[in-house]
Structure 1
Amino acid sequence: MLAKFLATASLFGIAASQTTLAKTFTGWNCCKPGCAAVSNNNILNSRGSVKVCDRDNNPLASDVGRGTSSTCEGANSDSGFLCHDYSPIPVSDELSYGFAIQVGGNINADNPNCCRCYELEWLDRNKKMIVQTVYPGGAAGDVRANDLIILTPGGGLGPVGRACSAQYGSGYNWGNNFGGISSAEGCSQLPERLQGGCYWRYNWAGGDVNGWEIVYRPIECPSRLTDISGCASNP
Structure 2
Amino acid sequence: MYSKIAVSLLAAASLTAPAFAAQGNGVTTRYWDCCKPSCSWSGKAPVSSPARTCDANDNPLNDVDAKSGCDGGGAYTCSNYSPWAVNDNLAYGFAATAISGGTENSWCCACYQLDFTSGPVAGKSMIVQSTNTGGDLGSNHFDLLMPGGGVGIFDGCRSEFGQSLPGQQYGGISSRSECDASNMPAVLRKGCYWRFDWFKNADNPSVSFKQVACPAALTAISGCKRNDDGSFPAAQSS
Tell me the CA shift for residue 19 of structure 1.
Answer: 2.6
Correspondence for 2:33 among 24, 29, 34: 29
TM-score for the superposition, normalised by structure 2: 0.79
* Cα distance, 1:83–1:18 mapped onto 2, change above 3 Å: closer
Matched, 1:93 2:88: yes
In 1, Cα distance between equivalents of 2:154 and 2:110: 25
Matched, 1:228 2:216: no
In 2, Cα distance between equivalents of 1:82 and 1:113: 18
Correspondence for 1:129 among 114, 126, 146: 126
Query: Which residues of structure 2 form unaligned runs of 5+?
Result: 1-20, 233-238
Contact 2:157 2:165 in 1 (8 A): no
The structure that has the greater radius of gyration is 2
- When the two chains are superposed, the root-mean-square deviation of aligned CA atoms in Å is 2.2
Tell me the CA shift for residue 22 of structure 1.
Answer: 1.1
1:60-108, Cα deviation, whole Å (9 max, x unpaired): 11xx1x11100212x14xx101000000011000000000000258998
Aligned length: 203
Equivalent residue, structure 2, for 1:193: 187
Matched, 1:203 2:204: no
Correspondence for 2:206 among 210, 213, 216: 213
Contact 1:52 1:60 in 2 (8 A): yes
Identity %: 34
Matches of residues 171-186 of structure 1 in structure 2 within 5 Å?
A: 173-186=165-178
1:128-187, Cα deviation, whole Å (9 max, x unpaired): 000000002223xxx5221101110000101111x10111112x5421111110111111
1:113-140, Cα deviation, whole Å (9 max, x unpaired): 000000011113121000000002223x
In 1, Cα distance between equivalents of 2:66 and 2:22: 37
In 2, Cα distance between equivalents of 1:86 and 1:93: 20
In 1, Cα distance between equivalents of 2:37 and 2:102: 11
In 1, Cα distance between equivalents of 2:197 and 2:105: 33
Aligned AA for 1:192? A
Contact 1:157 1:174 in 2 (8 A): no
In 1, Cα distance between equivalents of 2:22 and 2:79: 32
Contact 2:110 2:130 in 1 (8 A): yes
TM-score for the superposition, normalised by structure 1: 0.80
Aligned AA for 2:28? T
Higher helix fraction: Structure 1 or Structure 2? 1
Aligned AA for 1:25? T
Contact 1:106 1:137 in 2 (8 A): no
Tell me the CA shift for residue 192 of structure 1.
Answer: 1.2
Equivalent residue, structure 1, for 2:15: none
Deviating runs (4+, > 6 A) in structure 1?
Answer: 105-108
Equivalent residue, structure 2, for 1:164: 157
Aligned AA for 1:47? S
Secondary structure of residue in 1 paired with 2:113: strand
Aligned AA for 1:26? R
